[in-house]
Structure 1
Amino acid sequence: MTHRVLETLPKAERLFRLAALLREGQFSVRDLALRLYPGALVGGDGWPGIERAVQRDLEVLERLEPEFECLNVRPPRYRIRTHRTTLHPVSLLALYSAARLMYHRAPGNRLHHQEALRQLTAWLPERVREVAGRGMEDIGKRRSRESMNLEHVGGAWADGHPLRFEYRKPGGSGRLRTNIVETYLIEAHPVNLDLYVIGQETTYHHAVRTFKLSRMQNVRVLREQSYAILETFDPAAFLHSAWGVVGAQGNHTMTVRLRFRPDAAYRILEGGYAQLSEPFRNPDGTIDTTVQAPVDATGLPRELLPWILGWGPRVQVLGPPELRGHWQRELRAAAENAEVEPAQFPEGGAA
Structure 2
Amino acid sequence: MSQELTMSMERHSLYRIHRIDQLIRQSIYPNVPKLSRWLEVSTRTIERDIEFLRDSLGAPLKYDPKRRGYYYTRLDFSLPTVKLTAGELVTLYLGQKLLAQYQGTPFETSIIRAFAKIRTFLPEEVEVDFANLDEFLSFDVKPLRGEEQQVAHTFQQIAAALRDHETVKITYYTASRDSENTRLVDPYHLRCYQGAWYLIGYCHRRCEVRTFALDRIRKLKPVRRYFRVPPDFSLEEYLGHSLGIERGRQLYQIEIHFDAEAARWVKERVWHPSQEIILQEDGSLLLKLVLSGLGEVKRWVLGFGAHAEVLSPPELREEIAKEAACLAAKYQQ
TM over 0.5: yes
CA deviations over 1:280-303 (Å, ceiling 9, x no partner): 1111111111111112xxxxx112
> What is the correspondence of 1:75-94 to structure 2 with a 5 Å cutoff?
80=81, 92=92
Task: Tell me, in whole angstroms, the C-alpha distance in 2 between the residues paired with 1:89 and 1:269.
Answer: 33
Residue 118 in structure 1 maps to residue 120 in structure 2 = no
> What is the correspondence of 1:2-151 to structure 2 with a 5 Å cutoff?
13-15=20-22, 64=76, 80=81, 92=92, 95-96=95-96, 99-103=99-103, 106=104, 112=106, 114-119=108-113, 121-122=115-116, 143-144=147-148, 145-151=150-156
> What is the correspondence of 1:100-249 to structure 2 with a 5 Å cutoff?
100-103=100-103, 106=104, 112=106, 114-119=108-113, 121-122=115-116, 143-144=147-148, 145-172=150-177, 174-189=178-193, 192-202=194-204, 204-222=205-223, 224-248=224-248
Residue 314 in structure 1 maps to residue 318 in structure 2 = no
CA deviations over 1:293-323 (Å, ceiling 9, x no partner): 112xxxxx11221111111111111112222
Return closer, same or farther for 1:270/1:37 CA change in 2, 3 Å cut-off.
farther
Offset at 1:65?
Answer: 5.4
- Please, which moves more after superposition, 233-242 or 126-135? 126-135
Q: Is contact 1:188–1:245 with CA below 8 Å preserved after alignment?
A: no
CA deviations over 1:67-86 (Å, ceiling 9, x no partner): x8xxxxxxxxxx7358x889
Q: Is contact 2:188–2:200 with CA below 8 Å preserved after alignment?
A: yes
Offset at 1:130?
Answer: 5.7
Q: Is contact 1:92–1:124 with CA below 8 Å preserved after alignment?
A: no
Matching residue of 1:24 = none
CA deviations over 1:19-72 (Å, ceiling 9, x no partner): xxxxxxxxxxxxxxxxx9899xxxxxxxxxxxxxxxxxxxxxxx8358x8xxxx
Matching residue of 1:289 = 287
CA deviations over 1:178-233 (Å, ceiling 9, x no partner): 011111011122xx23111001112x1121111111111012222x2222222211
Higher strand share: 2
Residue 326 in structure 1 maps to residue 326 in structure 2 = no
Amino acid at match of 2:111: L
Matching residue of 2:330 = 337
Q: Is contact 1:183–1:200 with CA below 8 Å preserved after alignment?
A: yes
Task: Tell me, in whole angstroms, the C-alpha distance in 2 between the residues paired with 1:119 and 1:313.
Answer: 49
Q: Is contact 1:243–1:275 with CA below 8 Å preserved after alignment?
A: no
Task: Tell me, in whole angstroms, the C-alpha distance in 2 between the residues paired with 1:215 and 1:239.
Answer: 20
TM-score normalised per structure 2: 0.65
SS in 2 for 1:217: strand
2:269 to 268, 271, 275: 271
Residue 260 in structure 1 maps to residue 258 in structure 2 = yes
Note the residue ranges of structure 2 that are not aligned, 5 or more in a row.
1-14, 26-37, 42-74
Matching residue of 1:348 = none
SS in 2 for 1:333: helix
TM-score normalised per structure 1: 0.62
Count of residue correspondences:
260
SS in 2 for 1:225: strand
SS in 2 for 1:245: coil
Task: Tell me, in whole angstroms, the C-alpha distance in 2 between the residues paired with 1:330 and 1:197.
Answer: 30
Return closer, same or farther for 1:329/1:275 CA change in 2, 3 Å cut-off.
farther
Percent identity over the alignment is 17
Return closer, same or farther for 1:92/1:225 CA change in 2, 3 Å cut-off.
farther
Task: Tell me, in whole angstroms, the C-alpha distance in 2 between the residues paired with 1:233 and 1:129.
Answer: 46
Offset at 1:273?
Answer: 1.2
CA deviations over 1:6-31 (Å, ceiling 9, x no partner): xx97987134999xxxxxxxxxxxxx
Offset at 1:88?
Answer: 7.2
Amino acid at match of 1:302: G
